[in-house]
Amino acid sequence: MGFSSQQEHFLGENLAVTYAQTWPAYHRWLSRAPERVSAQEGREKIQQYMPKLLTTYDGLCHAFGANEQTCAFLCLYKPPVFRSGCSQACKTNYGIELVRNYDFPSQLCDRLLLHTHWNGTRVIAMTDCLWGVIDGMNEHGLAVSLAYGGLQAHGDGFAITIVLRYILEFCRTTVEAVEVLTHVPIHMPYNVTVVDRQGDNKTVVICPGEKVQVNSLAFATNHQDGSAIENIDAIADSYIRAQYLSARIADPREAKNSLVNLFLQPPLLRKSSDWHGWGTLYTARYQPLLGVVELHWPDGQILRQSFEHFIEGDISVSSPAYL
């Protein structure tokens, strides 16, 4: 399976080429949205809730052709349902790190590690819909990761991925990130884990129609506060994964070890054939104090990038999780 590392020296420089190659698939996805949102409405919502992101949005629209369908896609307001089966955790002793497994059908994943410098802050992130963020970190040492919340609920709001982009572009601390997550409407249930360079970590529990909850749990999977999980086989093990993380993180013998070792083995590592195509595509490790990002696979392959040393290119990886 292929993964790409790209650096945007100028807004839309490389992404425009990628979009030209992939737009039919994105537009088919957009056509499944519960209602059609115009580009004008989407832009107005960005201006209302994330105004500092508007210049970036307008620039990408221009780079991608500025037609109605493209601009409506890029606003990511009231998009189709987006579910993923993920596990994530952070640690703040013996170094700071945020580690996550992204469990998702491979044909629906960008598999793109993107380095940008769009708004005066360097960001390295795994993308969705080209500019959205599923996990990432900025040069200030703020790292974020999302996990689907497991509830059958949706409402008016943005895809979580564009909100995480906004956070990494303009926030420096966990406090600032939490402020954004509690005020910008998000269209589906998600658990977002955040940690900053000071070691302040929070998990933000989001569900449309409910008050946003903020806790100090250092991990999250695909359920919320004892709630029943939506009837999706691919996330049926969410409580098992959470219990495993809780026990291992609390074990003092694990204190000096990276969390990566836990994520490269079951039950966190999941085979595609066992989970209806939702296997673990990669394990990401973000190190805020070092400005280093790593993608890991069980066979020992590691893609290591940093803000000071980012190499563009493509790699091919294999994993028992893909079987």
Domain CATH for 292:
3.60.60.10
pLDDT digit string (tens) for the chain, length 323 residues? 999 999 998 999 999 999 998 899 888 888 888 889 999 999 999 999 999 999 999 999 999 999 999 999 999 999 998 777 899 999 999 999 999 999 988 888 899 999 999 999 999 999 999 999 999 999 999 999 999 999 888 899 999 999 999 999 999 999 999 999 999 999 999 999 999 999 999 999 999 999 999 999 999 999 998 777 877 888 899 999 999 999 999 999 998 999 999 999 999 999 988 887 889 999 999 999 999 999 999 999 999 999 999 999 999 998 887 87
What's residue 228's pLDDT? 77
Residue 144 lies in a domain: yes
What's residue 110's pLDDT? 92
Residue 146 lies in a domain: yes
Residue 97 lies in a domain: yes
What's residue 264's pLDDT? 97
Residue 320 lies in a domain: no
Residue 315 lies in a domain: no
What's residue 305's pLDDT? 98
* 3-class DSSP string for the chain: CEEEEEECCCCCCCHHHHHHHHHHHHHHHHCCCCCCCCHHHHHHHHHHHCHHHHHHHHHHHHHCCCCHHHHHHHHCECCCCCCCEEEEEEECCCCCEEEEEEECCHHHCCCEEEEECCCCCCEEEEEECCCEEEEEEECCCCEEEEEECCCCCCCCCECHHHHHHHHHHHCCCHHHHHHHHHHCCECCCEEEEEECCCCCEEEEEECCCCCCEEECCCEECCCCCCCCCCCCHHHCCHHHHHHHHHHHHHCHHHCCCCCHHHHCCCCCCCCHHHCCCCCEEEEEEEECCCCEEEEECCCCCEEEEECCCCCCEEEECCCHHHC
| pTM for this prediction | 0.97
Residue 222 lies in a domain: yes
Residue 318 lies in a domain: no
- The number of domains in the chain is 1
Residue 317 lies in a domain: no
What's residue 266's pLDDT? 96
What is the domain extent for residue 183?
A: 2-309
What's residue 300's pLDDT? 93
